[in-house]
A and B are shown apart, each in its own frame.
Chain A
Amino acid sequence: MSLSENQQLWQFSPIPNIEESNFNKYLERFYNMGTSGLTRENAQNSLDGRLLENNDPVILTIKTGTISKDDIPGIEEVKNRISCFHGRNSYTKETIDHMRNKMNQEEVAYISFEDSNTRGLKGAKNGQSESKEDTWAIYAYNKGVHSEEENKAFENSRGGSHGVGKIASNAASDLHIMYFANCDEDGNQHLGGTAQLLEHKYNDQCYRSTGYFADLQTIEGNKTKFYPFENKFHEVFQKNNRGLKIIIPFLREQYNDEKEIIKSICDSFFISILEKKLEVIVNDKKIDSKTIKDFVSNKDYYIQDIAEMKNEFTPLYINTYLNEEPVPLKISDGINDYNFSLYFRYDSAIPKGRVAIVRTIGMKIEDKKIKNNVNKPFNAVLVAGSYEDGYLKSLENESHTELAFEHIKDQRLQKNAKKFINNLSKEISKIIEESIKKNNPTDGLMNTKDILYVVENQFKKDLTEAMGTVKISKDKSIVKVTTDAPKKKKKNKKKSSDNPVKPRNPVKRVKPKVDIGETNGTEEKLDKYSAHPDIVERLIVGDNEFVIFDFTGSKEISKEKLCNISFSVIDGMGVEYPDEFKINDNYSSVIDNTTGDQCKIENNLIKDIEIKQGVAQLQLELKNNFNRALKFVYYVEV
């Protein structure tokens, strides 16, 4: 079939009059889904078209670029049709204005989705065909119908079940047009296309809104049939190896976003990619099982701080899927049980808990929120088996973005679907609760993910450093503590000024004992302090004992003129005996070495010792029965 000069390339079916004055309602829905809707639909279709006989990954090549308007086949026909539209409401008018505004560009932006390792469409040569096997005819000329695979398992895992996916491509074009280039098993190359316009009057004839890029041939009298054109068009429209290529000219500006395209591939198909069922090349960037992590862990594409992952969860999903062991999960719809694998991760840093519902084919249907658990610290991936895929598919809404039951017409099936969706939430929330409990045990000792873990861990670190444990045998652990050994190590060798230890107070106030009945008020109450052994020097030489007190470090005592001193004996276990040692029984004389005067002893107390420049000195003469092995701590009264 060859193209003649004035051949009509776009076919619109004549209708008696205009009934519908609006655009196809799916256009707006897909338009609202933006880049991700477009990418998902096309990638899903490519996966559906995968070769059944081998396991090579489907390769989807996405290109964006510009093309001269002259290279877009039949574009003038489309423009002519648009020129004669009449908007009958403000929304339609606005859209028409937009189309007319954009249709006269010379350089036109486009996007193309080309797959390989796929089957492509079959039976293009047969044109519009009644045969179920002629997938070209179904794809090219029947909107809202998709061909059912003869292989049931395969059918179940197919993505698009509503047959409206193609419109996603129309929605991405300012002029609502899209082309598809097919190369079949035998190397036959054809180009088709659709335009989703308005019902319109053209040359005094009313036409349907849908236009087909096809040749109209008359067969058997007045019966006509669409046939595709052999593909001899511009290279952007060429498809040279087996598979299908979608070309969308007049790509809307907001769709022309490479980063968004890459992200929506990662978001929806991470499992297909990780499982090596799909590779996607976006212009010069390749996303496969090896490189996907590079994109997902790149802060230009995704937020990397777990605590901030509140809208996009792909980095978490991938982590969960790769690192967690799946647990089987059985969910009933009241009649049948469906088996899933759940990859579940608990991490207290996760701010929003979501479950990715993913079908075997690998497209994520939904970031499912589980009732009452949307803010729980977990992340999960629920993967369906082949049998479950079919069921999940029936629950998907038309834009594959949610599991729902409202769209199901059959009352009984709708009830089951509702039950299934509820049970799904229930089963997953059980797992969430269990894991939160497990990770936050409400009883017992702290473990690593405990609610007290952070605090406890710090104490543990300090305790380990301070004590150190010795594992002596299997069940015996001994704590080792070394007291005050290293403290002095550097003290004298290096006078360090950075030593944070505050100088200790050399004396310490002793709380007076309340003597009941004994105080007669005549004697002045004195303050009593214990003198730290560091400020006391004591030495026995011959029959004399010298004791020197250095109070210069004490602001309480150094400024005093006189003090009283008492003794406490310390026994071999460090116990102090305040009344054990009797001064009069042990010393024959006590001399204040500052003045040379004999000191008075009263109530086992050496009285009125002079403090000179903060220092007090005593010389005591030992009696015969003095136990020279004794040690003391001293008390000072001022």
Chain B
Amino acid sequence: MIYKKDANFPYPLLTNTSTSYESSNFILDVNLHENSYNYRFEISYEIDSQFVNKLIENEQAQLVLVIQSKDNKFFYIKPEDKYIEIQKSRISISNRTTIQLHLQSKAEINFKDNDDLSYFYSQFKEDIVVLRNSILGFSNVVIFEGSSTKPLELFEKKVNPDIKSDIKIELGSETIIIHYKNEQLQFNDSPMSNTLNNPYIYMGLQKALYRFIVNNSDDGEQVDLEQIDAPTDNLDLKFYNLMKKKMINELSIDNIDEVIYSISDKILEKYAGAVRGLSLNGN
């Protein structure tokens, strides 16, 4: 089973987010291939700690690849293993598949030679003993999201004369759908049509981010993007990725507008410029 949540463990763990190790990198990358019968997961990983690498070498610790889709599969990985294969009848990737590398102790491990620990744990390292069959660290998570049919689209538009308003913004399963009561509302007869639609885009972003907060927060007001798992909703996942890319840590009702400004490219400024241009040209 994949584990991601930051928490305080009873002894130092090597993860990408914890501060127990001075330099804690446990990086996994996976590439997916398929043939008629199997899926092949090609793996590569990188561990920063010499101490931990030595445990793997000496077979005191064991890498375990966890592949979770509808259920969990565990594979013991030797350092020389480059890939694992799974029959298609035993794994489905049409939904979300999450992959992580865990490191499990094969024997009782004393940390007295572990020079990679952060200051606090270094003081106690003589006394730190990790029992057999316990986790020593876990990597980042690689997600393959197969249920997405429009992986890169964020917006759709529809003309729908039946809506009870001029514009209706619907949050679809993967995209924001802007419904226009008629084509004129799209400014499609104007050379600036793409910019003139920006206010609708803005409205769509606002609505989607608001729902993101509702879907992904405990209190309905703010989301700590470093704490939550990648959302399962495909539209939320896109926003999650966009925000992560722009290094946004927190989304809240208070900062929605700042977040829109960060993840989009000056859409209102461009809109204002277009309107000003049109009014000057007397078009």
Contacts and interface: CB of A to CB of B under 8 A. Distances in A.
B115 interface: no
A538 B10 contact: yes
B155 A477 contact: no
A359 to B, nearest CB: 30
Given A442-B188, A455-B198, A470-B32, A538 B9 contact: yes
Given A485-B140, A545-B10, A572-B1, A436 B22 contact: no
Contacts of A467: 145, 151-152, 241
B109 to A, nearest CB: 14
A494 to B, nearest CB: 11
Interface stretch (A322-330, A397-405, A528-536): A528-536
Interface stretch (B56-64, B74-82, B120-128): B120-128
Nearest to B142: A482
A218 to B, nearest CB: 67
A390 to B, nearest CB: 36
A479 B191 contact: no
B188 A465 contact: no
Contacts, number: 240
Contacts of B198: 455
Interface string B167-191: 0000000010010100100111101
Nearest to B234: A479
A489 interface: yes
A559 interface: no
A451 B193 contact: yes
A442 B17 contact: no
Interface in B124-175: 124, 127-128, 134, 139-146, 148-159, 175
Q: Say whether chain A's binding surface is mostly helix, strand, loop, or mixed.
A: mixed
A412 interface: no
B194 A463 contact: no
A570 B227 CA distance: 13
Contacts of B178: 452
Interface size class of A (residues with CB under 8 A): 35 or more
Contacts of B186: 440, 442, 451
Contacts of B249: 501-502, 504
Interface in A549-577: 570, 572-574, 576
Contacts of B195: 454
A164 interface: no
B241 A436 contact: no
B229 A488 contact: no
A622 B93 CA distance: 44
Interface in B213-253: 219, 221, 224, 226, 229-230, 237-238, 241-242, 244-247, 249
Residue of B17, B196, B229 with most chain A CB atoms under a 10 A cut-off: B17
Contacts of A446: 153, 155-157
A69 interface: no
B28 interface: yes
A370 to B, nearest CB: 13
A348 B156 contact: no
Given A463-B238, A466-B245, A540 B188 contact: no
Contact of B11 (A440, A483, A540): A540
Given A442-B188, A573-B1, 19 more contacts: A348-B191, A375-B191, A436-B188, A440-B193, A442-B180, A442-B183, A446-B155, A455-B197, A455-B264, A459-B264, A462-B263, A469-B151, A478-B145, A481-B230, A484-B140, A511-B221, A539-B121, A540-B10, A541-B127
**Those 5 A-B pairs whose CB atoms lie nearest each other, nearest first:** A574-B5, A485-B140, A466-B241, A631-B7, A479-B145
